Amino acid sequence: MKVVSIVGARPQFIKAAVLSEKLRQQGQEILVHTGQHYDDNMSDVFFDELKIPQPDIHLGIGSGSHAEQTGRMLIEIESVLEREKPDWCVVFGDTNSTLAGALAAAKLHIRVAHVEAGLRSFNKAMPEEVNRVLCDHVSDALFCPTSNAAENLRNEGITQGIHVAGDIMGDMLKRSLERARKKSKILEQLDVQPKNYALATVHRAANTDNLDNLKTLLETFGKINRIVILPLHPRTRGMIQRNGLTLPESVRAIDPVGYFDMLQLEANADCILTDSGGMQKEAYWVGVRCITLREETEWVETVQAGWNRVVGTNPGLILDTVLNWLPQGERKDIYGDGETAGRIAGILEGMRKMDMP
């Protein structure tokens, strides 16, 4: 089996790492990096730490408007796919790299496999929601983390190729947590004690492009009764710098960190405040309360389980939740058993042999 996998953004490197290993045991994988993320601490660090094979092809697309970035990716990915003629084009998540890979492949009649299919925020103002919906509707194999995600697809009339396979980020987390605990020195470097700090990340368009929201969030972080560690996405750092925003004293902005440092920061935080998708799940897995700085979430199971509260950017609600809320529920394996990658690789091979669907 020959597969072209498309990655480009930070969470996709983490998702692709485990699947890449399985695909290469079973056949040929050509890993394509679109270059959507390019800073060392947004890209290289993950390849090094997680021992991801170096990309076979690096497109070097970089940043741009949605149309510019996606359009350039489409053109480049099309020529890769025409040359390589894979059995599958595998795409992950919901970024512009995901959409470009799916669209380029579908138009060439190359089968598309979408890992993390069926997630919905039902908010089309999110660029990710547009990417997800479009990608799912041209995919031949749709790997859903949960049965709820599969139900979302059926509600949109997608009936073929759906597989509830579990969440692939769980595979990586389960194998990395102990390693992170032993390897990471981030708590010492930042001079913070376990459970004595909050961890925050902000990078969504709704929270960064909207200056009022960003200001409100930073001010609110300053009112939390403990140190807030804030690994800054370059997009957020750019907004802060361009607008001359100053951070409250208790908010410690740091550069983006590698995966092991992030797991260590997450596992030892008192709480996680975030608009990240991946970090809502990671908070659940490490058993740390998550306060989601958005109006809605795709990861509804973490909310239903009682470990995630969706509070938007309302300062009173954020502070009240940080101060007064403690999760009660037990943490079941709502996102699978950590064996998702093997399952996906097996299904891809099976579908190829049966010549689909």
Q: Give the active site residues.
A: 203
Instruction: Report the nearest approach of ligand UDP to the CB of residue 83 (Å).
Output: 29
What residues contact 59, with CB distance under 8 A and at least 6 apart?
32, 33, 34, 35, 72, 73, 76, 77, 80
Residue type, 197: Y
Instruction: Report the nearest approach of ligand UDP to the CB of residue 80 (Å).
Output: 24
With CB cut-offs between 5 and 8 Å by kind, which of ligand UD1, ligand UDP, none does residue 282 bind? ligand UDP
Residue 279: its H or E element: helix 277-286
With CB cut-offs between 5 and 8 Å by kind, which of ligand UD1, ligand UDP, none does residue 63 bind? ligand UD1
In the beta sheet, which residues pair with residue 231?
254
Nearer to ligand UDP, 86 or 143 (CB): 143
For 164, the token pair is 């509830």
Dihedral sign computed on CA atoms, order 276, 281, 284, 288: negative
Q: Counting contacts by CB under 6 A, is residue 278 touching ligand UDP?
A: yes
Residue 196 carries which DSSP code? S
Distance CA 227, CA 249 (A): 9
Q: Counting contacts by CB under 6 A, is residue 170 touching ligand UDP?
A: no
Contact code string over 181-220 relative to ligand UD1, x by CB under 6 A: ----------------------x-----------------
Within 10 angstroms of residue 54's Cβ, the number of other Cβ atoms is 10
Contact code string over 220-249 relative to ligand UDP, x by CB under 6 A: -----------x------------------
Instruction: Report the nearest approach of ligand UDP to the CB of residue 104 (Å).
Output: 21
Contact code string over 187-216 relative to ligand UDP, x by CB under 6 A: --------------x-x-------------
DSSP annotation string for 59-123: -------HHHHHHHHHHHHHHHHHHH--SEEEEETTSHHHHHHHHHHHHTT-EEEEETTT---S-
Among 96, 236, 276, 313, binds ligand UDP (CB under 6 A): 276
Among 4, 7, 10, 55, binds ligand UD1 (CB under 6 A): 10
Contact 164, 150 (CB under 8 A): yes
Residues that bind ligand UD1 (CB under 6 A): 9-11, 36-39, 42, 63, 94-96, 127-128, 203, 234-235, 238
